[in-house]
Amino acid sequence: MVDKIPILKMGRYLLLSIQVDMHDQLAMDLQEDLTEQIVRHSAKGVLIDISSLEIVDSFIGRMLSHIASVSRILDAKVIVVGMQPAVAITLVELGLELPGIATALNVEKGMLWLETHVNDDLVAEVESDEHRDTPAETGN
Amino acid sequence: MTVDSLADTFKQNESALLEQWIEAQRKAGIRSDLIDDRTMVDNSRDLLKVFIKALSEGGKDVEHASWAPVKSLLERLSQAQSRQGFTPTETATFVFSLKQPLFTLLAQQPDQLLAASQLVDKLGLYGMERFVASREEVIREQQESMLELSTPVVQLWRGVLAVPLIGSLDSNRTQVVMEALLQKIVETESDIAIIDITGVPTVDTMVAQHLLKTITAAKLMGARCIISGIRPQIAATIVHLGVELGDVITKASLSDAFQLALKELNVRLVSPNAR
């Protein structure tokens, strides 16, 4: 198989959408590719869209966990979005609860989550004098 | 040939047999509130007719193809009686009361008497089998409809779902609840689901495990769950059993849970008069 899962860079985040059946080689390539891209773009967040995955097995569950751990070491937050109900039930029945991986309903909510959580980290780095009044905006 | 002669004997005495059979049924007592006399007579006549026909064509082997019409007629009658609310005895009596006239008729031929009696037994048992099967089908249908009825998922606010669970939780029901909840989460793009267990009579380790499964599945989809409606005794039981609920948020009442949900969604309720 010459398939490759494209990794899209969007601002400080990386986006990847899994739409084909995963097999060993593809997963290995993806992990390698992703770590490389995180370092190259110094990405702060990774969004994985699995809304087109109909079938999931323990292999994919393990792969997601692995990607999450690697990304965490590289200081990028991982969020998995768009899991189908059937897939969620299967994972639970398999006993794979994906601990430590954030999840969201769709890409939109996933991006929102990344914005809020990654921003939190950045706020600490911002020079404090200029932006004294910005926290007031959070109420809207 | 005993079979042919048996069939012949029946054929010759069909009307007498029918009359005595109906008489025997009347003596055994007819549920006049459920079936009228005429239907009973019609049923008896039809069954006796196909019975004699099957006997003359297929012999005493009730598995033979020629017995199919007898069986289908019996099945239909048994099903109807089971749905109408006849007792098993009343249904069995219908067939077994045929024995009395048979015995009278065949009193002089003991060897044939046994064969005929066995035949009636087999038919009676078959009728009972269909009766019970029909009952079981009714029970199954009711169970299914109860399952459907008892698992509503309601939307309380945009982004907030509630699942009021009523009755005991087993794995079948958990499955249905889980599917319904996850489907609704997708449909309404909800962030928070409140599982209200006010109506769950007991929470043991199994039930807790089922609840946790549902919560984990919802979490995988990106929705948070709150458990509400935990009664004092249940809270005590959960602690006593050492059930680990993990980091699941629990609230005593649905209203508390709803308040928390609104807070998480940054919604604030303001009365128009309060100033």
Shortest distance, CA B179 to any CA of chain A (angstroms): 7
pLDDT at A120 (0 to 100): 55
- Return the closest-CA partner of residue A109 out of B185, B248, B182: B185
Which pLDDT score is estimated for B88? 84
Band of residue B255 on the pLDDT scale cut at 50, 70, 90: very high
Beta strands in A1-140 (DSSP E): 7-10, 13-17, 45-49, 77-81, 102-104
pLDDT of amino acid B226:
94
Residue B257's pLDDT is 94
Cβ distance of B220 and A97 shorter than 8 Å? yes
Residue B195: band (very low, low, confident or very high) from pLDDT cuts 50, 70, 90: very high
The beta-carbon neighbor of B178 closest among A89, A103, A109 is A89
Q: Name which of A89, A105, A109 is nearest B217 (Cβ-Cβ).
A: A89
Give the ipTM of the model, two decimals please.
0.71
Any idea what the Cα angle at residue B246 is, between residues B244 and B251, rounded to 5°?
95
pLDDT over 70 for what percent of chain B?
97
Closest CA to B226 of B163, B153, B140: B163
No. of helices (H) and no. of strands (E), chain A: 4, 5
Question: Residue B117: phi, psi to the nearest 5?
Answer: -65, -40
Residue of B179, B184, B221 to mutate, testing the A interface (most A Cβ within 10 Å of its Cβ): B221
Shortest Cα–Cα distance, B171 to chain A (Å)? 11
pLDDT, position B1? 43
For residue A63 the two structure tokens come to 């792969």
- Which domains does chain B carry? 2-146 (1.10.490), 154-264 (3.30.750.24)
Please enumerate in sequence order all residues whose Cβ is within 8 A of that of B164, keeping only pairs 6 or more positions apart, or say none: B152, B154, B196, B198, B199, B254
Does position B21 have pLDDT exceeding 60, yes or no? yes
Mean pLDDT by 10 residues, chain A (140 residues): 80 89 83 91 90 84 86 89 90 84 91 82 52 50
Residues on chain B touching A83 (C-beta within 8 angstroms): 220-222
CB contact under 8 A, A83 and B178: no
Q: Which residues 6+ apart lie within 8 Å of A11 measured at CB?
A: none
Give the whole-angstrom CA distance, residue B110 versus residue B93: 23
Decide if B171 touches A, using CB distance below 8 A: no
Contact A98, B217 (CB under 8 A): no
| Gap between the Cα atoms of B250 and B229, Å rounded | 9
Measured between CB atoms, does B183 come within 8 Å of chain A?
Answer: yes
Q: Which of A114, A48, A118 is nearest to A83 (CA)?
A: A48
- Cα–Cα distance between B165 and B203 in angstroms, integer? 12
Tokens found for residue B199: 């109506």
A110 at interface of B, judged by CB pairs closer than 8 A:
yes
Contact status of A112 with chain B (Cβ, < 8 Å) = no
Sheet with B154-157: strands ordered across: B154-157, B160-166, B192-199, B224-228, B249-250
CB pairs under 8 A between A and B: 54
CA distance B240 to chain A (A): 25
Domains with residue ranges and CATH for chain A: 7-139 (3.30.750.24)
State the number of CA atoms in the 13 A half-sphere of B91 facing the CB. Answer: 27
How far are the Cα atoms of A50, A62, B179 from residue B261, in angstroms, in the given order? Answer: 27, 32, 22
3-state SS assignment for residue B275: coil
B219: nearest CB among A84, A93, A103:
A103
